[in-house]
Amino acid sequence: MPIELIIPLLAAAVQSGTPILYATLGEMITEKSGVLNLGVEGMMMIGALSAFWISLATGNPWLGFLMGGVCAAMLAAMHGLVCLGFQGNQVVSGLALTIFGVGLANYLGTPLVGTQGIGFSKVSLPVLADIPVLGAILFHQDVLVYLSFALPVLIWAFFRYTRLGLHLRSVGENPVAAATAGLNVIGLRWLGVLLGGFLVGLGGAYLSLAYIHLWTNGLTAGRGWIAVALVIFAFWRPGRAVFGAYLFGGVMAFQLRLQAMGTDIPASILMMLPYALTILVLIASTMTGRGGEAPAALAVNMEPEE
């Protein structure tokens, strides 16, 4: 593949990986606190719709982006209520959240289908964009992509260097011990659920505000589930989430470009690539035993009296 094709391919990989990156990091924070939230797809849809709607109504895409996160966090609060308030089954509640979120977004969004929205366009960063190769790939993107560059570093530092980050991790590893040490387990897990939901919502908002300035039913098209898988793929580490998200985005962009170049490989085989890759990665991570790096108390509820 010639270099004139590889650079746009990698730039496209970064862009199509960005919504997945936001969502993966969000789910990672939630899981670190010991709560499994399988409602990512639903929260992304709500995030995408509210971001689109609010930016259209107010003319302010930044407000829309922020509110995409807030509305998704509100949906995540339902999961918190079920799992943290009533000790409900986290898997069931998460699945319900996806079905509810996707359905609600499709229902509320129907009048907006096909409406042209406003959002973010590509902005070249001065100086950085002039770096050969790398500049064209990383620094000729929209503002939300640049924001997503900072996010993994911030999250990594948060878990590693801050007291709150340590507390959040400890309630995900051993909530009983954390409670004994005087931590508010339920409160901290609420933080994990809401903060995670917020980031997932930003991922949805990226789709409707920057990736394509449109709303449509089923806009997220399974990207939320990819994010759930990528958390495992990344072994709950922000840095690897970046790699996973761009890899996935890259495979998607790659198969389209292979076709455009005129390959003889059937399109249906190429279309399977991203999904086959997800399965392979899940198998590989289980076989290498790295799955053991999951938060020890993931998806385990803690009774308040324990």
What residues line the site for another protein (CB under 8 A)? 4-5, 8-9, 12, 16, 106, 110, 113-116, 121, 207, 211-214, 216-219, 221, 252-253, 256-257, 259-268, 271
Residue 294 and residue 286: Cα distance in Å, rounded? 11
* Shortest distance, position 91 Cβ to another protein, whole Å: 26
Cβ distance 82 to 214 under 8 Å? no
Specify the residue, 255 or 285, whose C-beta has the smaller distance to another protein. 255
* Shortest distance, position 14 Cβ to another protein, whole Å: 12
Residue 73 and residue 192: Cα distance in Å, rounded? 10
* Shortest distance, position 110 Cβ to another protein, whole Å: 6
Per DSSP, what are the bridge partners of residue 116?
Answer: 214
Specify the residue, 211 or 246, whose C-beta has the smaller distance to another protein. 211
* Shortest distance, position 8 Cβ to another protein, whole Å: 5
Burial label for 259, CB within 10 Å (0-12, 13-18, 19+), is middle
Which of 138-143's residues contact partners 24+ apart within 8 Å by CB, and which partners? 138/11, 138/14, 140/11, 141/11, 141/14, 141/15, 141/18, 142/15, 142/210
* Shortest distance, position 254 Cβ to another protein, whole Å: 9
Specify the residue, 60 or 216, whose C-beta has the smaller distance to another protein. 216
How long, in residues, is the chain?
306
Residue 228 and residue 25: Cα distance in Å, rounded? 10
Specify the residue, 24 or 93, whose C-beta has the smaller distance to another protein. 24
Cβ distance 189 to 82 under 8 Å? no
* Shortest distance, position 276 Cβ to another protein, whole Å: 15
Cβ distance 241 to 21 under 8 Å? yes
Specify the residue, 184 or 263, whose C-beta has the smaller distance to another protein. 263
* Shortest distance, position 120 Cβ to another protein, whole Å: 12
Specify the residue, 113 or 157, whose C-beta has the smaller distance to another protein. 113
* Shortest distance, position 262 Cβ to another protein, whole Å: 4
Per DSSP, what are the bridge partners of residue 124?
Answer: 140
Residue 218 and residue 171: Cα distance in Å, rounded? 35
Q: Which DSSP helix (H) or strand (E) runs through 131?
A: none
Instruction: Provide φ and ψ at 124, rounded to 5°.
Output: -80, 135
- The type of residue at 91 is V
Specify the residue, 114 or 132, whose C-beta has the smaller distance to another protein. 114
User: 3-class SS at 86?
Assistant: coil
Specify the residue, 133 or 153, whose C-beta has the smaller distance to another protein. 133
